[in-house]
Amino acid sequence: MLTRRAFLSGVAVATFAEAGLSRVQAAGRRVQGQDAQSLAADEVYWREIQQAFTLDRTIINLNNGGCCPSPRVVHEALKRYLDISNQAPVYHMWQILEPNIESVRRRLAAAFGCDSEELAVTRNASEALQIAQLGIDLKRGDEVITTNQDYGRMLDTWDQRVRRDGIKLTKISFPVPPKSLDELGDRLIAAITPATRVLHFCHITNLTGQIFPVKRICDEARKRGIKTVVDGAHAFAHFPYKAADLGCDYYGTSLHKWLLAPIGTGFLYVRRDNIRDLWPLTPAAASKTDDIRKFEEIGTHPAANHNAIAEALNFHDGIGIERKAARLRYLRDRWAKRLSQNPKITLHTNLNPAHSCAIGTVQISGVPTPKVVARLWERWRIIATPIVHAEYEGARITPNVYTTVDEIDTFAAAMDEIAARGTG
């Protein structure tokens, strides 16, 4: 049972956090009807969003590609659910909180644009994608095609099937930035052979933020009876799209990235006619063969994390995906357009909105990227991510809705200074 004290402290916390949410909602009402492009530069509006987070503003966090801080209201929901769970977990967590995962499933499915019976809640994109990667029946000699810029853990997962099951893994390369979206699609489609059973590729890559022409590739694969696994770790709640715009068989995403949900949240979409034949990673009873919930049979786990996704969806809806994407592109363009004037600086990300959104990767010629990133931290307390790929390198920069223009300008000035003086 909830004690009176725990109940009251929960209420106090909720009220404080809800005050933050109502400020965001009030800011939203004030700008109702304003188009996403003009709102992207409305600092009065974005200040309200920035205030909804409890951050350490002595550092400039430009690595929102790893995992993100949640807004206060989401973090408070997580803590509240944890506190409730700890009263008597077998009752409060299993009987009160856990069944409400169904509300989360329903709301995520609505946001993604699929049926709720096609969506499993997972702990991250890795788990979601590995369910698909390890659960598809493949025999010796069957081929999987991916790219050499897909996520390391996902490539390692396929590689384990090469070692264990004798499948063939083909990794294609592509230029950064590519000349066109068609070029990306053409490369994957041209690599298909009679042995190909699966195409695995990113919706948007983590290395340079390149968006792929997912629908075209998936349609071509389906015509040939090939399954598509799309890595959407960075896509969901980052820019607008729906499942119907993708047409893939399996889709995995993290929710602790762009949705700003608690750490340890993600989902797996499995197209309805694929559910039966996809083996779960953690086995489930045969009676669940056709049930999307068979992918959630992971044993005891916290209910707080996945239930607080509902609050993250509220926060996300309070801004709106069009406005969020426009703001993210505005922040990215602010540093990228300035730095592309510098002859010593190369951008590996195409700024065309069809190609990219918040993520940008930038290289200073003559200075090794790990040194650039170390310098940004030591001198300016800026967090960036060093990307060192066999074919190129650069610092990956990922702002978020809480990033200020002053933080972006500090980063751009720091890069100009490193380009001019080096790191010595």
Ligand X SMILES: Cc1ncc(COP(=O)(O)O)c(C=O)c1O
Under the rule (CB under 6 A), what is the footprint of ligand X?
124-126, 151, 154, 202, 206, 231, 233-234, 254, 266
The whole-angstrom separation of Cα 300 and Cα 255 is 20
By C-beta, is 46 or 295 nearer to ligand X? Answer: 295
Q: Shortest approach of ligand X to residue 233 CB, angstroms?
A: 3
Return all residues near 360 (Cβ < 8 A) that are at least 6 apart. Answer: 208, 209, 332, 335, 336, 347, 349, 351, 396, 397, 398
Closer by beta carbon to ligand X, 126 or else 363:
126
Within a 10 A sphere around the Cβ of 222, how many other Cβ atoms?
A: 15
Q: Which is nearer to ligand X, 205 or 410 (CB)?
A: 205
In whole angstroms, what is the distance from residue 198 CA to residue 104 CA? Answer: 30
Q: Which is nearer to ligand X, 146 or 196 (CB)?
A: 146
Beta carbon nearer to ligand X, 151 or 258: 151
Beta-strand (E) ranges in 260-328? 266-270
Residue 201's Cβ-side half-sphere holds a number of Cα atoms within 13 Å equal to 32
Cα–Cα distances (Å) from 52 to 49, 70, 177, 216, 315, in that order, read: 5, 9, 35, 39, 10
Q: State how far the Cα of 260 lies from the Cα of 262, in Å rounded to an integer.
A: 7
Three-state secondary-structure class, residue 353: coil
DSSP secondary structure code for residue 251 in this structure: E
Nearer residue to ligand X within complex by CB, 49 or 233 = 233
What is the smallest separation between the CB atom of 29 and ligand X, expressed in angstroms? 34
CB-nearer residue toward ligand X: 49 or 154: 154
Least CB distance from residue 360 to ligand X, whole Å?
A: 15
Q: For residue 423, give Cα distances in angstroms to 176, 321, 341, 382.
A: 26, 39, 20, 15
SS3 of 193-213: the string is CCCEEEEEEECECCCCCCECC
| C-alpha dist (Å) from residue 211 to 149, 177, 214, 350, 367 | 12, 10, 8, 10, 27
